[in-house]
Structure 1
């Protein structure tokens, strides 16, 4: 499956999801329409970067992924009940999209709305702890909130039980402000991730061609390192330098996600 086919399929799925949201259909009522819309904006963003090297469109589409997710999360705060899979902290890739796009205020808003407990029925605890670390670290570095992350890391160590856990090591090095240790741990994450994507049948073709080619969590971890003043390389495998966007505030309306072409650079 080539990137153009993936892009066309994503546009079709996005159109269906936005229609369900507009008419409050079954998929909207379960929350799955918001999840699909966010995922399709995410996928379209990666297609734009990989196929066309359009970092400007990549940024706007990532931001729209985050805006969709923000609407869904605010609805749950207001009393709506959505399928729990759509609300898991570790499944919320839109936070990573926002931080990668350089939209730190938007990422902070999402982080504050995230559940503070993992859902054992729908997510692995170590995945939850990775994402909760990133949420709270950004809240500290950008919003100046105080968060003691040592208990979280201690729990993570218990969960992995001494097994090789490069994500944990990367987060430990971030907290220690150890640039060399972070670099080594990040490289280990990249290598392990590469092996996982090469496993036959481990990921759908669409994910393998998009998320397999761009390491979105890597962009987010590097952003956290930069915000804390750690020196990093400009480029890493699957983290190209032209996709490392500066911190900014895109002038998108909160409803820009409702129209795929709104504010999208030509």
Structure 2
């Protein structure tokens, strides 16, 4: 499957999900349609970067992923009965999209809207803790909020029980402002995820061709390191320098996610 096919499939799925939302279909009631819209914007963003290095379109599409997720999370906060898979912390890839796109205020809102409760039916606890660490770290570094990171890390350490856990190591290095430890742990994460993506039965092909080729969590972790004043390399495997966007505020309407072409550079 080539990137052109992945793009075409994503556009089709995006259109179907937007239609379901507009007619208040079953997928809208469960929240799953919003999750699909966010995922398709995410996937289209990665295709734009990987196929043509369209940094401008990459940024706008990531921003739309964040905007639709904010809409869903606000609905859930006001009482909408959304499926836990659409709102749990580890599935909130739109937070990573926002921080990668340099839209830190959107990322802050997503972090604040995300539940502090682990959803055992929808996510592994170590995945939950990874994403809550990144979210709370941004809240601390960008919004000046205080959070109990030591309790989070202690809980995470008990879960991994001394096993090889490079994500835990990279987050601990961030917390300790250990530049060398961060570099080594990030490379270990890159190596581990590369091994997983090479196993064809672990991820579907469209995910392997997009997320497997561009390490979005890595881009988010590098942003957190920068905000913490830590030195980083210009680029890493699967983290090209041109995907490291500056912090900015895109002038997109909050409902622009409903119109795929709005604000998208030609």
Give your verdict on TM over 0.5: yes
Give the alignment's TM-score, normalised by structure 1.
0.99
How many Å separate the matches in 1 of 2:200 and 2:212?
13
Alignment partner, residue 258 of structure 2: 258
Runs of 5+ consecutive residues of structure 1 not aligned to the other structure: none
* TM superposition outliers: structure 1 runs of 4+ over 4 Å: none
Q: How does 1:70-109 map to 2 (within 5 A)?
A: 70-109=70-109
Q: How does 1:8-157 map to 2 (within 5 A)?
A: 8-157=8-157
1:162 and 2:162 correspond: yes
Alignment partner, residue 214 of structure 2: 214
Alignment partner, residue 200 of structure 1: 200
How many Å separate the matches in 1 of 2:142 and 2:197?
32
Number of matched residues?
Answer: 266
- CA shift, 1:200, in A, is 2.4
How many Å separate the matches in 2 of 1:200 and 1:27?
29
Give deviations 1:211-263, integer Å, cap 9, x for gaps: 00000000000000000100000100000000100000000000110100000
How many Å separate the matches in 2 of 1:89 and 1:82?
14
Alignment partner, residue 237 of structure 1: 237
How much is the aligned-residue C-alpha RMSD, in angstroms? Answer: 0.5
How many Å separate the matches in 2 of 1:200 and 1:23?
37
- CA shift, 1:201, in A, is 1.1
How many Å separate the matches in 2 of 1:130 and 1:181?
17
Give deviations 1:66-112, integer Å, cap 9, x for gaps: 00000000001111101111111001100000000000000000000
How many Å separate the matches in 2 of 1:166 and 1:45?
27
Give the alignment's TM-score, normalised by structure 2.
0.99
Runs of 5+ consecutive residues of structure 2 not aligned to the other structure: none
